[in-house]
Amino acid sequence: MITEKHLSLREFKEIVCDGKAVAIDGVVLDKVSRNHEFLKGFASNKIIYGINTGFGPMAQYRVSEENLVALQYNLIRSHSSGSGRPIDPILVRALLLARLNNFLQGYSGVHPELVHLLVALLNKQVYPCIYEHGGVGASGDLVQLAHLALTLIGEGEVWYKNELRDTAEVFAELGITPLKIHVREGLALINGTSAMTGIALINLLQAKKLLEWSVFLSAMTNEVVEAYDDHFSHELNHVKHHPGQQVVAAMLRKLLGDSHMIRSRKKHLYEGDKMDQDVFEDKVQEYYSLRCITQVLGPVLDTITQAEKVILAEFNSVNDNPIIDHENANIFHGGNFHGDYVSLEMDKLKIAITKLSMLSERQLNYLLNAKLNEKFPPFLNLGTLGLNFGMQGMQFTATSTVAENQTLSNPMYIHSIPNNNDNQDIVSMGCNAALLTRRVIGNSFEVLAIQMMTILQAVDYLGCTDRMAASTLNMYKQIRAIFPVFIDDQPRYKDLEKVKRYFENAEPVVTHPATSTIERVA
């Protein structure tokens, strides 16, 4: 039940990802209705943008009374001009909820019929066909949201049961009545940040998973190389006053607390006759990709935390224009549809996730390079050196994918291009930023999957399952169930896909109150 209370990320996930049905509290619906009735009365004999004027730079032209409804339909149809790939249905579901939540604030002047129609699409799992290319994020996601509006008036195409079909056909089959334009439903639908915001919230959910997997894989990597424990100790990390670093350190301690492979510096370097040696057999300090995990992943966590705060604020905000304020009996024109908040956070998030993928690639390289680790055969080759190749081919994929992330991490936020007769003279590119961040996140799951496959080969080379921590041993068993140990060379791309999908779909594997929305520890 959606009430006047702001929705949380957990509630967003339950509806969008878990398929929970949507119901609207009567108090909320009453507010929407009162707002609509106010607009109908207030707009009479007044010049109101988007009600009886043209749009954008053509707002100087008055539209006659008999053409007001046609004006709204023209707006929807003319802006349904997207191109490129269709947006994934899960992202469209997120967009639908974001747009619905905007209208439920009761400042958009829409008829309650629109709210009920959006609820029906969500509950019947009918998703408008919306394209990636089009929105510049200034009047919001104009083009993407126009394709949503096109569906609502019964036109265009929808995804239903994994098939792309004509909207009118699906509506007739399900008994859904297309939207009737009342006053300003066309403009209210396409002005706003709901596409970029919905995608951004999905990105946040997946970014949280990536962070937890990265901590987990970092722990396993430290375990198989038998690293020292002081770099994730409370004593070292609490003197650096960044919350993300301290949380990551606590997560590592939770994972590795019962490991019999992690070493104590005191035992191995501070005691005994070590001072009699001129060349130490034990490494005094690990490479940075092993020793600086809390300092690298801490900023990633802090970035995710900040992005969640900002994007949830946007999700629960009124982001169209003008704002219909029935409480103060007025209408306010401005730019709440501008997407800079989302665009900037998505740029920061994709940079942070790219750094996470770079850490994974460096840890992977350490495990595969025998000259560095001085512990494993080259490329974790469990077969015959020279004849077999182990993980050599997989490393190329990880390296090239990280390189792509690095290029994709150039910011969209500063790529403003004036358009719309220079009416939109500074824009956010927010939907582009959110979509590029999604691609970086997907790439990063691939890189971490390759790292996991390599770690499992290392575990089997060492035969160390009896010394592993309970949590890492449990994960070893779970992944080995879908990716068995291998010696002979075979194509591994299907194994990579299986492990990647496992990572994307699994519940969090190591959680902390400051990081998780799902309180479960495996």
Q: Give, for 522, the enclosing helix (H) or strand (E).
A: none
HEC-encoded secondary structure of 358-376:
HHHHHHHHHHHCHHHHCCC
CB 345 within 8 A of CB 307: yes
DSSP labels, 304-335: HHHHHHHHHHHHTS--SSSEEETTTTEEE-S-
Query: Where do the H-state alpha helices sit in 49-177?
Result: 68-79, 89-103, 112-124, 142-152, 167-174
CA 13, 522, 198: angle at the middle one, nearest 5? 15
165: helix, strand or coil: strand
Phi/psi of residue 3, each to 5°? -110, -165
Residue for token digits 């220079």?
422
> Whole-angstrom Cα distance, residue 141 to residue 150?
14
Residue in 49, 73, 288, 461 annotated catalytic: 49
> Whole-angstrom Cα distance, residue 379 to residue 474?
24
Tokens of 515: 């990081």
HEC-encoded secondary structure of 177-207:
CCCCCCCCHHHHHHCECHHHHHHHHHHHHHH
Length of the chain in terms of residues written: 522
Non-local (6+) Cβ contacts of 56 within 8 A are 139, 420, 421, 423, 424
CA 178 to chain centroid: 31
> Whole-angstrom Cα distance, residue 18 to residue 13?
6
The answer to whether residue 49 is catalytic is: yes
Residue 119 vs residues 28, 116, 249, 475: alpha-carbon distances, Å: 14, 5, 43, 39
> Whole-angstrom Cα distance, residue 99 to residue 118?
8
CB 235 within 8 A of CB 196: no
Residue for token digits 């691609």?
439
Give helix then strand counts, H and E, for the chain.
20, 7
CB 453 within 8 A of CB 391: yes
Tokens of 505: 């779909």
Rg (CA), the chain: 27
> Whole-angstrom Cα distance, residue 503 to residue 497?
10
Which neighbouring-strand residues pair with 127? 159
Non-local (6+) Cβ contacts of 283 within 8 A are none
Instruction: Give catalytic residue positions.
Output: 49
